[in-house]
Amino acid sequence: MRNRLSFPSLSSYGVSWSVNRRIAIVTGAVAVLLALAGVVAMVSGSGNGHHAAGTAAPVPAGSSPSSAGAVPKPSSGSGSVPKPPQIADPVAYAKAAAQMLWSYDTRATSRDRQLTGMRAWMTTETKYADWASVVGQVPDPVLWSRMADQDQHATSHVTEGHYPSAFKQALADDPSAITEAYIYVVTVNGTQQITWKKGGSGAEERAVTLAVQCRPNHDCTLAALAPSVTQ
């Protein structure tokens, strides 16, 4: 059920960036992984990047929604956007990021502050960061203003997160492929509860596939969102 004014939820808003552009710049550092798991086509980069020390962090054997861990408790951030959690588990970070993407409060947060809060979740390695894929989830300024006029806000609940089968197979075929960028692909499912003036509300199921960077001995960060969900 959507609200009566047909305001789109934050996570379902149209993507304004070019899929062709994204595909065109996916080369180099994660080429082997991309060839095996096309779902990582959202990760950008070229040339020879820095190799992190240590061995590849493998996908846990038998990883399943029940073993993916709870969503980390958010801390205060920019307006209604929580700060990113300091964790090194790709699935747990992806679940927290999805919950962040699906939650907003136009009563307390401007669009600019929303974007500022979201930017804090991104990797600082520009070679792999696709900020446009995240910005594409946020309504334009005019629509955000209309949503604010209706006090529209949303909360979310994550039900599970997992590595898509194609990604797990890619790592099984070539475990060393991930050691260039340490990008993990995670799909998260959940629900979003939207509320607005005069008691209006609606709930929707949500799903998103994210690229999460988790280098050894570093906290995870968000690299990109996929243009479609991969299970």
Give pLDDT tens digits for 1-38.
Answer: 333 333 344 433 333 333 343 333 333 333 434 433 44
Cross-strand pairs, 155? 193
Q: Which residues contact 94 (CB under 8 A, 6 or more apart)?
A: 161, 184, 186, 188, 210, 212
On average, the pLDDT of the chain sits at: 75
Scan for tokens 């960077």, then name that residue.
213
Q: What is the pLDDT of residue 50?
A: 31
Q: Please report the sign of the dihedral spanned by the C-alpha atoms of residue 116, residue 22, residue 29, residue 208.
A: positive
Work out the pLDDT band at 80, boundaries 50, 70, 90.
confident
State the Cα–Cα distance between residues 103 and 67, nearest whole angstrom. Answer: 24
- The pLDDT tens digits for 97-133 are 999 999 999 999 999 999 999 999 999 999 999 999 9
- Check if the beta carbon of residue 85 is closer than 8 Å to that of residue 93: yes
State the Cα–Cα distance between residues 168 and 61, nearest whole angstrom. Answer: 9
Q: What is the pTM of this model?
A: 0.72
State the Cα–Cα distance between residues 191 and 98, nearest whole angstrom. Answer: 10
Cα-Cα-Cα-Cα torsion 57, 72, 220, 54, nearest 10 degrees, comes to -30
User: Does 81 score more than 90 pLDDT?
Assistant: yes
Work out the pLDDT band at 79, boundaries 50, 70, 90.
low
Q: What share of the chain in percent tops pLDDT 70?
A: 66
Work out the pLDDT band at 61, boundaries 50, 70, 90.
very low
State the Cα–Cα distance between residues 187 and 200, nearest whole angstrom. Answer: 30
- Check if the beta carbon of residue 182 is closer than 8 Å to that of residue 210: no
Nearest 5°: phi and psi at 207?
A: -150, 140
Scan for tokens 């962040």, then name that residue.
100
Nearest to 167 by CA among 31, 34, 24: 34
Highest mean pLDDT among 8-12, 48-52, 178-182: 178-182
State the Cα–Cα distance between residues 46 and 30, nearest whole angstrom. Answer: 9
> Beta strands 104-105 and 221-225: pairing type?
unpaired
Nearest 5°: phi and psi at 23?
A: -65, -40
> Residue 146, Cβ neighbours under 10 Å: how many?
14
